[in-house]
Structure 1
Amino acid sequence: MGGETAVVDLSASPVESVKNSARMTPEERDTTAVQAALGFIAENNPTAAYSRLEQELLQNRYAHQSREIYAKLLMRQGDAYSALELIDGGLEIAPNHAGYKKVKARILMAAGEIEAATDLLMRRAPPIGEDIEYHDILATASEF
């Protein structure tokens, strides 16, 4: 206690955090939600991750990153049906969203529906230089 002064950092206070949230774009809030969810996953707390992603989707149905990550987490937990419902909802909003198409193709391939996966990926595929993973999945589906 030799004359040390405690320094309090108010930059991360809850009030400031709320103010910053109000100034964020929907895309920034989506990214923040995904980062928070991935943090919960790293802490082995999937329930909190799901809750955070659900909250973001309730506030912003166009939260594409949150929807895609949530579907991937559901798949990882073995809940392909819920993941597919979530992705189909996203495809209704953004029919050519490559992330949604990749997740749905993986689900279809796992279910043995190779032709449906290939057909999905063949429609308006992004250039190979923009999404190599997309084309890897397409190549895998085409090999069957």
Structure 2
Amino acid sequence: NSYTVRPKSRGSVTLRSSNPAAQPLVDPNFLADPDDLRVSVEGVKLSREIFSQPSLQKHIRTLRFPDETVRTQAEYEGYARQYGRTSYHPVSTCRMGQDDLAVVDPMLRVRGVDGLRICDSSVMPSLIGSNTNAPTIMIGEKAADLIRGNH
């Protein structure tokens, strides 16, 4: 599979009801941006080309990429939509910033709620180009410093 490292598509997380125990409504909105779909299709095409090289054939038991019946751009796009997936590092659901859509301020405080901070990868304004583990740990460390007053 290929992944879009810096996706432009934006999903949403909204409240289902006023019941705090209710699961939120999550719309990942994958591949909504045409550039994301283009990158995904190109990744599938490149992967198929790489795995079709004769030197790799003896190492491949099953090919999970589309076979030769997928030829047109529309077929590739359909394949990407059906089988594409994320790298499981969702971020930005409570993004930090100065604008009206930002959920937390630069001090990680939830706007309009006293005494509540968010200190995980959801505050990242956008997806980074690598694993989110280390930056998420640093966000937690920064939050601890902010709470202790060591900023």
Give me the TM-score of the superposition, normalised by structure 1.
0.27
Q: Higher helix proportion, which one? A: 1
TM-score computed with the length of structure 2 as normaliser: 0.26
Higher RCO (CA < 8 A, seq sep 6+): 2
